[in-house]
Structure 1
Amino acid sequence: MFKSKEKWKSVDSMKRMFGVKKSAMLDYVLENWTEDTFFGYQFLNGVNPNVIKRCSKLPSNFPVTNWMVKSFLARGSFLQREIEMGNMFISDYKIMEGIATRDVNGQAVYVASGFCLFYLNSDKELVPIAIQLAQTPSKDNPIFLPTDSDSDWLLAKMFIKNTDYLLHQGVEHILKTHMLGEVFAMATYRNLPSAHPVYKMLITHFQSTIHINNIVQDYLFGPAGPLTMSSLGAEGAKELMKRGFSELKYSALCLPENITARGLDTIPNFYYRDDGLKLWAVLNNFVKGMVRHHYLSDGDVAKDPELQEWIKDIFMHGVIGNSFSGFPETLETTDELIKFVTMIIFTVSAQHAAVNNGQFDYYPWILNGSPLLIQPPPIIKDTSSMESVIETLPAVGNTALFTHAAWMSFKSNNMVPLGSNPDEYFDEAAPRQMLKDLQNDLLFLSEAINERNSKLQVPYNYLNPTYVENSITI
């Protein structure tokens, strides 16, 4: 199908692609992709749970009024009250503004750079209630609402998901896990001898990372690669990654701080947060034991020349000496070392699993998140139709390419699960016991997640330790 230039004729014809590679979750996506509740669910528990945040004040360039959204709020309530109660959430895609997009049939395609406003309703479901597709309000940039025509609202959601896909793939997935994983790996190879305790803790978490990164770069940015063929094209995707890199913060890689900074500590049914924080705590406990076994005081950390060269390498070559990033240039205490090593292990195992493993479930169905949309969104309401939705989709060949890319994220049978550190790296009894304790803690967490999932209509397994790989290998 890759070579086909044909346009899709109907939604039903697209479903014929899924005769072989399917999952229970993909079946659910096919049946529910138009539902607002499922759209909102994905911003918490889909492949990109990293953008949404609590809305404490509407941006001045997103002029949503109470009149627009009153019918979607609890009876008798109003917009400002719901904001003050903490029930409003927002995704802001300003990072996309001004990036040149790819030409398709001689015309530049459209990529949204605006906002999506979400409401946590009385059923504790997160639903979209207003979408603006560009940053600057104008008559050609309407605010779309669930009360608009079905096709207008659906197209608005599709353009948000297109932007979210591009941001997820370029920044949250490739940049913040694959590329940072390579930074950490190279600094470790260059500065820490194999007998060093930090080397022993980390080395199994870098297995195959540099190799897969070379493959990923050639594949994604190749002449017919998924990012090359996306709405941004290869150059636009690289520009997005540069912007994402310039905004990179150490605190955003530390999940407890990330969740608090986005105001998401208490939003219900946020399984990425729930499982992620528990997994962070398990890894932190393991790293704490290891570090304090080998470093008896803060002075031992500060005076370790190899460790200081390692962290300096990450600061200078990883974040290019950018103090704005918050990355440490030196490590002075055991607590600082514990936090940093925990962040590395979490990033290259759990965080990568969270933003990678769900691609097989959510992205094969192109209507749920297409890397490429070839028609612009409506600028005047009530002028679209379901035919407009189909016409906006990429051709059959590009759809097959994007679906294949999503299928490639599927884990092979020979994956090495988190915690499978060969104990030959540790000679002493105490570290060996800490490793066994880590494995037991991960097993207990996996059992708890399985129990929770057995009661959910849509299970969340991406941070189940059983399915989290020890390193980035795909």
Structure 2
Amino acid sequence: MGRYRIRVATGSWVLSGSFNRVQLWLVGARGEAELEMQLRPTTGQVEEFEHDVPDDLGPLQFVKLRKHHSLVDDAWFCDRITVRGPGASAEEAAFPCYRWVQGEGVLTLPEGTARLAGTNTLDVFQKHREKELEERQQIYCWATWKEGLPLSIAAGSKDDLPLNMRFHEAKRLDYEWTLMAGIMEIVFKYVSTLLSSWNKLEDFNQIFWGPKTALTEKVHRCWQDDELFGYQFLNGANPMLLRRSTSLPSRLVLPSGMEELQAQLEKELQKGSLFEADFILLDGIPANVIRGEKQYLAAPLVMLKVEPSGKLLPMVIQIQPPNPSSPTPPLFLPSDPPLAWLLAKTWVRSSDFQLHELQYHVLNNHLLAEVIAVATMRCLPGLHPLFKLLIPHTRYTMEINARARSSLISDGGIFDKTGSTGGGALVQLLRRAMAQLTYHSLCPPDDLADRGLLGIPSALYAHDALRLWEIIARYVEGIVHLFYPGDDVVRGDPELQAWCREITEVGLCQAQDRGFPVSFQSRAQLCHFLTMCIFTCSAQHGAINQGQYDWYAWVPNTPCSMRMPPPTTKEDVTMATVMGSLPDVQQSCVQMAITWLLSRPHADMVPLGHHKEEYFSGPEPKAVLRQFQMDLDKLEREIVARNEQLDLPYEYLKPSRIENSITS
């Protein structure tokens, strides 16, 4: 007879416990024992008890559990179960769960040591993983949201999602209360302006109340400055478009009389200090119609220079591409009349809003992360080391995307009601962006090198992104090398190879022609891909998501739409032209509220590297995770020290501000 000590941990959020009774079994290599004691799990509690088992069970392999109910199936969120066997020297075995238990079926939890797939069909762990994947592939199915875009989870709304992908109750309440507060703010701001004028820039102050940050105030004060305009391409909400020029763009048309400007551009080009931001992806996209009023889009080209001080300053703006059937569009210069130059910059910022939100935020972060999450659930069983590595980086992603598809980017959703790329234009833009989405562009060492942004002291996003990539890469390599002693083991892992194909060929719709792998041939190749996955689902989303309210709360800095066509002359631009171009009161109120909702801090935020769940068992993976946390803490201190020396700190890639997964 042996005495087993069992600890059962229940989730700590509201409604995690259950009034239903739970029955447990211990399954070892030499036998199985049903435990007589039944428990009623309590929220946030670890319940401990001991049980004598008459037979020697041998090394524990599984814990089985069944939740009984009579009238009400009261779901229970089980964190993990640990069991210590007989004898003073017995080691504790962990059985991670981290899921909802419902119904009266038997749930089998394997001992948590990570294992690769084997070839022995009699192996109990091999049978378990095959059955688990078969069941998961029935639950996690693909669907097409829009043709030409990445596949998504098959769920018409958040209520159709698998229960284990849903927000926990505290998250749901926080999200929905904040949404309600945002709606009320929109109503109050709109009503408060009904009897007021709306014909000068200062009138935006009437709705510029509510939550503030130091940066929103800075933008409010300095948004018209060329220095802040340029800074945003390096370190603003969208640092993904700027690139160093290798030649003068062919679409830049310099009419006669601008020889001096051409000489200046060529001089900066020779020095390597000429940069460009090209919004050509927007060319030809049909603009939205909002409440019967036509909106407008443009495809600007901006040429900028980096001064020795590190400031990035605009040199010339071409708002529209040349059109053979119409006169050459005017070029706008810093020396132009102030309102004309301001309007040209505003057109650039509005165009940046469209690409930032749709190409770089929705597509490159949210939709890609969902593909990774669904493929992981379909192809990697819970025993696989890479499931354990990736699963913390998929938390809440499916629900936040399902909510976005039903309200934010849906037909008749918020984008349709406020943005110039609403009304169907957003899908066209996403399809264009999807056709250009390359594996290379998702990996900062490659992307920043391609864009010529390495080694620029004032490029703070670039610096921090590279440091985070290196830290994540070391973490990934540490885990991969524990379980894959050589390249041959990588090539011989059928679950891993199926996961790779599921992402590239299925979820991303045959993306191998854009550099995504269809198989892994080496540990190095696998580590690079995994680093991309984790970076995309954490750090990159932090850089793209957190700055929305900072930079967009003062609407004139980055308008969600433009209500007049681009100017064709410089001399006729008046304040009426500027105000007539900017969003109206209702659009502006929505822009402020939604960007706050999307980028605000969350009460249940889990910082990068600080997992609430313990999926790995054994000291080696835990040591790798501890080193990852130490590396992140070191980077945090470096960024804090650097920011203390800056007039405009860059904080979006501070590890403490980066969430483990895409949750908003």
Q: 2:355 aligns with which of 167, 175, 179?
A: 167
Q: Does the aligned pair in 2 maintain the 1:144–1:153 contact within 8 Å? A: yes
Describe the superposition over 1:62-107 as per-residue Cα deviations: whole angstroms up to 9, x where unpaired.
0247964857x9xxx7321210211100011111111111125756
| 1:93 counterpart residue number | 279
Q: 1:448 aligns with which of 638, 650, 655?
A: 638
Distance 2:507 2:543 in 1: 22
Distance 2:567 2:256 in 1: 23
Distance 2:621 2:258 in 1: 60
Distance 2:255 2:449 in 1: 28
Aligned-pair identity in percent equals 35
Report matched runs for 1:29-68 at 5 Å.
29-64=219-254, 68=258
The Cα shift of 1:421 comes to 2.3
Residues 338, 360 of structure 1: CA spacing in aligned structure 2 closer, same or farther, 3 A cutoff? same
Q: 2:605 aligns with which of 415, 418, 431?
A: 415
Distance 1:59 1:375 in 2: 27
Q: Does the aligned pair in 2 maintain the 1:319–1:325 contact within 8 Å? A: no
| 2:217 counterpart residue number | 27
Q: Does the aligned pair in 2 maintain the 1:68–1:145 contact within 8 Å? A: no
Distance 1:336 1:48 in 2: 28
SS of the aligned residue for 2:315 comes to strand
* Greater mean alpha carbon deviation, residues 163-172 or residues 388-397: 388-397
Equivalent AA in structure 2 for residue 333 of structure 1: S
Q: Does 1:143 align with 2:337?
A: no
Q: Does 1:437 align with 2:627?
A: yes
| 1:239 counterpart residue number | 428
Q: Does 1:125 align with 2:278?
A: no
Residues 234, 349 of structure 1: CA spacing in aligned structure 2 closer, same or farther, 3 A cutoff? farther
Report matched runs for 1:261-276 at 5 Å.
261-276=450-465
SS of the aligned residue for 1:425 comes to coil
SS of the aligned residue for 2:614 comes to helix
SS of the aligned residue for 1:136 comes to coil
Distance 1:201 1:421 in 2: 10
Q: 2:378 aligns with which of 178, 181, 190?
A: 190
Distance 2:622 2:291 in 1: 61
Distance 1:105 1:141 in 2: 29
Q: Does the aligned pair in 2 maintain the 1:114–1:134 contact within 8 Å? A: yes
Q: 1:393 aligns with which of 582, 587, 606?
A: 582
| 2:660 counterpart residue number | 470
The Cα shift of 1:387 comes to 2.6
Distance 1:80 1:320 in 2: 42
| 1:252 counterpart residue number | 441
Residues 262, 67 of structure 1: CA spacing in aligned structure 2 closer, same or farther, 3 A cutoff? farther
Distance 1:69 1:423 in 2: 63
Residues 224, 397 of structure 1: CA spacing in aligned structure 2 closer, same or farther, 3 A cutoff? farther
Equivalent AA in structure 2 for residue 472 of structure 1: I
Equivalent AA in structure 1 for residue 392 of structure 2: T
Equivalent AA in structure 2 for residue 11 of structure 1: L
Describe the superposition over 1:127-169 as per-residue Cα deviations: whole angstroms up to 9, x where unpaired.
1111111121653511111111111111111111111100010
| Bigger radius of gyration among the two | 2
Q: Does the aligned pair in 1 maintain the 2:490–2:521 contact within 8 Å? A: yes
* Greater mean alpha carbon deviation, residues 404-413 or residues 40-49: 404-413
Report matched runs for 1:4-15 at 5 Å.
8-15=198-205
The Cα shift of 1:422 comes to 4.1
SS of the aligned residue for 1:233 comes to coil
Q: Does the aligned pair in 2 maintain the 1:69–1:130 contact within 8 Å? A: no
| 1:405 counterpart residue number | 594
> Higher relative contact order at CA 8 Å, sep ≥6: structure 1 or structure 2?
1
Describe the superposition over 1:333-392 as per-residue Cα deviations: whole angstroms up to 9, x where unpaired.
000110000000000100000000011201111101011110112101210112321121
Distance 2:225 2:415 in 1: 27
Q: Does the aligned pair in 1 maintain the 2:288–2:295 contact within 8 Å? A: yes
Q: Does the aligned pair in 1 maintain the 2:288–2:416 contact within 8 Å? A: no
Describe the superposition over 1:32-61 as per-residue Cα deviations: whole angstroms up to 9, x where unpaired.
100000000000000110011001111222
Distance 2:531 2:291 in 1: 48
| Unaligned ranges ≥5, structure 1 | none
Q: Does the aligned pair in 2 maintain the 1:421–1:435 contact within 8 Å? A: no
Equivalent AA in structure 1 for residue 296 of structure 2: Y
Q: Does 1:353 align with 2:542?
A: yes
Distance 1:105 1:421 in 2: 46
Q: Does the aligned pair in 2 maintain the 1:248–1:325 contact within 8 Å? A: yes
Equivalent AA in structure 2 for residue 174 of structure 1: V
SS of the aligned residue for 2:466 comes to helix
| 1:229 counterpart residue number | 418
| 2:28 counterpart residue number | none
TM-score, normalised via structure 1 length: 0.95
Bigger strand fraction = 2
Equivalent AA in structure 2 for residue 165 of structure 1: F
* Greater mean alpha carbon deviation, residues 52-61 or residues 457-466: 52-61
Equivalent AA in structure 1 for residue 221 of structure 2: E
Residues 227, 253 of structure 1: CA spacing in aligned structure 2 closer, same or farther, 3 A cutoff? farther
* Greater mean alpha carbon deviation, residues 463-472 or residues 124-133: 124-133
Distance 2:209 2:250 in 1: 47
Q: Does the aligned pair in 2 maintain the 1:120–1:126 contact within 8 Å? A: yes
The Cα shift of 1:271 comes to 0.5
